[in-house]
Amino acid sequence: MNGRATPPNGLSVSELSVRVRSALQERVGRVVVFGELSNFKAYGAGGNWYFTLKDAGAQIKGVMFSRDRRFLKYRPKDGDEVLVRGRVELYAPRGDVQIIVDRMEPLGAGRLQEEFERLKAQLAREGLFAPERKLPVPKVPRRIGIVTSRQAAALQDILRTLRLRDPTLAITLSPTRVQGEGAAREIAEAIDLLNRLGTVEVILLARGGGSLEDLWSFNEEVVARAIARSRIPIICGVGHETDVTIADFVSDLRAPTPTGAAERAVPQRRDLEAAASDLRGRLLGATGRSLERRNQRIAELRQRLLSPQRQLELASQRLDESRGRLSRAVLMGMDRRRERLAHASQRLAGRQPDRELLVARRRLDAARERLALAGMQDLRERRAALEARRRQLSLVGPLQSLERGYALAVGADGALLRRAGQVSAGDEVVVRLHQGALACTVAEVRDSEELDLLGRNR
């Protein structure tokens, strides 16, 4: 040392330090220590932590390197009571005994749990847990988005479950880290990315089980905000059934496990096919019953509908009644005139005015002739009107129209078709002819005004 001779039987400081370090490693080794933090110093956002751990009777220096603290969600400060795990060593340059810490956690209820309860209360006050803001999950999604780690075992469980339930399902993976420093922001970005793509109908947010520290990324505010602003419904399946995270409260649906999230997102395809078959059968049955009721109604209406022959018979009866009333009216008129004539004759006989009698007789004869002519004219007019109505009824009767080559078309709902636009290709219609009817399926609808009488394009 500096050119001087080494004293016999003596140790250099460096040699002594080596012996002390070896003794500490052999006699003390790894330890678990609790105490109060003081003189806490953090060098940069991602640097090492230096502190003193003390109690009422002693203190020891400590250091936690950045490689060990990057997974730690707890941010310590002076005065915190903590439990640390590490090894005791001698820092030779200063001659300090210190503990090299690789794990640290708060004592008591735990700062992580306190942070969980604080954020939970804050988000609840803001209404992020309210049922009315949760989005409905689609019954049969066609494409599902998954937010989880590409290497996670939970991903394989989800994919296997989805393929078993619906092999035709489309899947979009938005991979992200689910643990460690910065994982929460990556999870939020993965959710936002699926929303920007806009192709998935539901998002599965998934991770396997772990400790509170392992699952802490799903308890961070940035993830909660991303779930809340998602326009796509999110099913959260994080951890095991007993694990509860902030993401569970904010998401639109909570599942106990990642596999449970997949099961809740996609129904069994065979169950859907069975339900569709049941609905098809019920629809066919209901359609058949409806057609039967409509056919019965048509039969009832047909019975109530008077045929042209019956209408002619009724018109003939009404004509006979009118003729009888006319005859009685003529006879009554003639009787009244005879009475007036007799009365006038009596008055005339008393006066004996030959000239007035002659004039009166002439007026009477003229009146008698006019009355007879009027009666005959009225009768002829009534007969002519009746005949015109009979001919008109014969021309416009439905059976006569059918006999001339026309037809009546009735839709599936029983309504008479007047426009081609009332039906579509593939609809069932019934065509009534003069003799018989045709059950037809519409092959084409021609709704153009440029059609000839037989429906052909001009």
Q: Which of 104-118, 132-146, 185-199, 422-436 has the lowest mean pLDDT?
A: 104-118
Domain positions in the chain are 13-108, 113-267, 308-396, 398-458
Q: CB–CB of 447/456 below 8 Å?
A: no
- Tokens 């169950």 appear where? 271
Question: Residue 213 corresponds to which tokens in the numbers above?
Answer: 């520290």
Nearest to 133 by CA among 124, 120, 122, 141: 124
**Topology annotation, domain 13-108:** OB fold (Dihydrolipoamide Acetyltransferase, E2P) (2.40.50)
What does DSSP assign to residue 416? B
End-to-end CA distance of the chain: 121
CA distance linking residue 238 with residue 435, whole number of Å: 73
Q: What is the pLDDT of residue 109?
A: 44
Q: What is the pLDDT of residue 433?
A: 87
Using CB atoms within 10 Å of the CB of residue 258, give its burial: 0 to 12 exposed, 13 to 18 middle, 19+ buried: buried
Q: Which of 116-130, 152-166, 282-296, 327-341 has the lowest mean pLDDT?
A: 282-296
What is the tens place of the pLDDT at every residue in 239-252? 888 788 999 999 99
Using CB atoms within 10 Å of the CB of residue 334, give its burial: 0 to 12 exposed, 13 to 18 middle, 19+ buried: middle
443: CB partners within 8 A, 6+ apart: 425
Share of the chain above pLDDT 70, in %: 87
* Res. 111: pLDDT tops 70: no
Amino acid residing at 168: T
What does DSSP assign to residue 154? H
pTM of the model: 0.43
Question: Residue 65 corresponds to which tokens in the numbers above?
Answer: 């390197």
CA distance linking residue 334 with residue 323, whole number of Å: 16
CA distance linking residue 236 with residue 223, whole number of Å: 12
Q: Which residues of 357-390 are buried (b: 16+ CB within 10 A; e: fewer)?
A: eeeeeeeeeeeeeeeeeebeeeeeeeeeebeeeb
Question: Residue 66 corresponds to which tokens in the numbers above?
Answer: 């950045």
Q: What is the pLDDT of residue 273?
A: 56
Q: What is the pLDDT of residue 11?
A: 78
Nearest to 266 by CA among 278, 279, 255: 255
**Topology annotation, domain 113-267:** Rossmann fold (3.40.50)
User: Confidence band (pLDDT; 50, 70, 90) for 272?
Assistant: low
Q: Which residue has the higher pLDDT, 275 or 386?
A: 386
Bridge pairing between strands 30-42 and 81-91: antiparallel
Section 265-280 average pLDDT: 64
DSSP 248-297: HHHSSEE-SSHHHHHHHHS--HHHHHHHHHHHHHHHHHHHHHHHHHHHHH
What is the tens place of the pLDDT at every residue in 320-371? 888 888 888 888 888 888 888 888 777 766 665 677 778 888 889 999 989 9
Q: Alpha helices of 266-410 — where are they, by DSSP H?
A: 269-304, 308-351, 354-396, 398-403
Q: Alpha helices of 64-110 — where are they, by DSSP H?
A: 66-69
Q: What is the pLDDT of residue 175?
A: 93
What is the tens place of the pLDDT at every residue in 43-67? 876 788 899 999 888 999 999 988 8
CA distance linking residue 290 with residue 415, whole number of Å: 13
CA distance linking residue 375 with residue 340, whole number of Å: 20
Residue 122 phi/psi, 5° resolution? Answer: -65, -50
Q: CB–CB of 414/297 below 8 Å?
A: yes
CA distance linking residue 265 with residue 141, whole number of Å: 8
Section 90-107 average pLDDT: 84
